[in-house]
Structure 1
């Protein structure tokens, strides 16, 4: 293997620097177990094998990747190399659906290398798959204490745990977890969680304050806050008017407001509102349906036909998607966390 790599890439210190950089990028998982990434020795077979394993996993060839990593683990390895193999094997087991095997490898890694935080981090991800958010929080706290690199992940995991506790009506326990949020990220999900917990205990004033902050912070999450409002408040048009005056004419609130105006027979006002929304979101089906219905009911038939023709022409060229700002992943449905790269709150409504 060493001779082959030598012939293919060159020998000695004359190795092309681009090749070394390429191998470093492919072996980025080495960062998962080392504080600093050392120079990669392309004459060392281990680096070629681990790089190949990572490539196989990225291509979705999990069986080959697992076989290669399992064979590597049987060899006599240095501690750092053994950590790298075990972590990659656990990750591959997890993404391939062998969650129990991933858990077993990670627990073995923790037993052999108790000071390596990434084993606890990956075990927390396995806990999440089992919907065991309490254990996920505990393992991330250990990982954070050892590596100091999981502050944001720990924060979001605690927020999910709090929401699970609210679902189960364990409000007192949820408050205990809230008090452990020492490092605060001012993101919509944080204010969503606070609004929800205050609604759950009947403190509507504080709940509404957090709800308003969350909506101002991110219009794209307004629908989640609107659902809270409908669930916990005696939802009516007057309350919605007050909220819109405070946070602005954001999409979800505006559509709901227009619908309530229509129900009350205030169709001209409803159409005025929905026309403003349609300028910003011309291809939203809900907006278009409401806009056309209002026009038709108000006798504005020609205007309605013009809107239909314009929309059909635009639909030939454009399509709406939620797009991840971090990795470019596209989906038709909104998630707090990108399904592909696991970046939090990175999905945005986009027109392509």
Structure 2
């Protein structure tokens, strides 16, 4: 209540002053103007915790003209930022209803009201206002950006692409990345309908917009895998490693499977060794440790995992180390190792597998668009224990 009082007192003061000034002008009073009684009525509403009545009263006092439009806009914007969307909507609707507004003032009020509707989840109403602005050709760049946000919320990917064509990259630097993901979304829709040809067409467009887009490479690799074209899968997944090694955890299981289907296990061992030398990736070491057991025995695998954990501490690597020791352990320490293994597995269950590099949102599965900040391609697999956790939301 105190915050609202502090917010509205300047408006009330301006209202009282403005009303008194207009009354003095009309009556040509020479004496000092008296503050309008309605001003005290508004304050009384505030003090009696009736803010809605106070707001209505002060809005009526502020006649809409060139001197007060900015006051209305600022007050509505302030309410929206405070989360009081209903009040913001009332102020901006009151403003738009006035016939005295010029073309630019009306457009500005429409833009603000559209944002109010978006904040309230009334996307249809917001869309209509923003489309009106694009027809007026004023504030149309901002209107297109808000339309893009609405269509993403509604998963209207073709509409997203249509709007994106009308937005300048200088106003939206991350637009090419977003557009590539729009094409990937359409490709996934086509794959769900078994329309492989259309899906590949969208993936090619995604690569044209953003070369070596990880999501497009992964989707194309899955298409080629269903065809049995393991050579193409290996080539595509190696491109992911070359451009975005952070996604190795998403790539390695399928890559290992294709190497084995091609009968190239020896090449796989050498490739994983090179991969580990380049990135010190836990996932690569875990696969290598299994192959080392077959080639050199469990002790060699334990030594390799110990060296890895010294350089890059990681719960997954620790779990693998405990399992290796269990395989070669005697009965006495085996019980303690089993307890340790259970503890590590519980810690792994609580640890989020993915984190947004922009806002810190954490998740158990990969989202290509962050549910929190709505950015595309910012959620990445977590690596080791060194990455900071900026948020606690886990889905």
Indicate the TM-score class for this superposition, using the shorter chain for normalisation. 0.5 to 0.7
**Which residue does the alignment assign to 2:269?**
241
Of residues 57, 60, 67, the one that matches 2:90 is 67
**Which residue does the alignment assign to 1:299?**
329
Matched, 1:152 2:159: no
Q: Is the 8 A contact 1:258 1:274 kept in 2?
A: yes
Matches of 2:379 and 2:165, distance apart in 1 = 27
Of residues 136, 139, 146, the one that matches 2:163 is 139
Matches of 1:88 and 1:259, distance apart in 2 = 60
What SS does the corresponding residue of 2:165 show, helix, strand or coil? Answer: helix
Pairing 1:1-352 to 2, within 5 Å after superposition: 1=11, 4=14, 45-75=68-98, 76-113=100-137, 116-143=140-167, 150-181=175-206, 182-226=208-252, 229=255, 238=265, 241=269, 243-248=271-276, 249-256=280-287, 258=289, 267-279=298-310, 282=313, 284=315, 286-299=316-329, 301=333, 324-326=356-358, 328-333=359-364, 334-348=366-380, 349=382, 350-351=387-388
Distance 1:154 1:264, change over 3 A: same
Q: Deviations over 1:251-308 (max 9, x none)?
A: 3343355467779995445434543554455353x44333223223322849x77x96
What SS does the corresponding residue of 1:174 show, helix, strand or coil? Answer: helix
Distance 1:147 1:171, change over 3 A: farther
Q: Is the 8 A contact 1:171 1:200 kept in 2?
A: no
Distance 1:267 1:216, change over 3 A: farther
TM-score (norm 1): 0.65
Q: Is the 8 A contact 2:218 2:237 kept in 1?
A: yes
Matches of 2:256 and 2:84, distance apart in 1 = 46
**Which residue does the alignment assign to 1:24?**
none
Q: Is the 8 A contact 1:162 1:177 kept in 2?
A: yes
Q: Which runs of 5+ in 1 are unaligned?
A: 8-42
Q: Is the 8 A contact 2:233 2:258 kept in 1?
A: no
What SS does the corresponding residue of 2:209 show, helix, strand or coil? Answer: coil
Matches of 2:201 and 2:356, distance apart in 1 = 33
Q: Is the 8 A contact 2:177 2:376 kept in 1?
A: no
Q: Which runs of 5+ in 2 are unaligned?
A: 1-10, 18-65, 390-395
Distance 1:175 1:281, change over 3 A: same
Aligned length: 309
Comparing 255-264 with 213-222, greater Cα deviation is found at 255-264
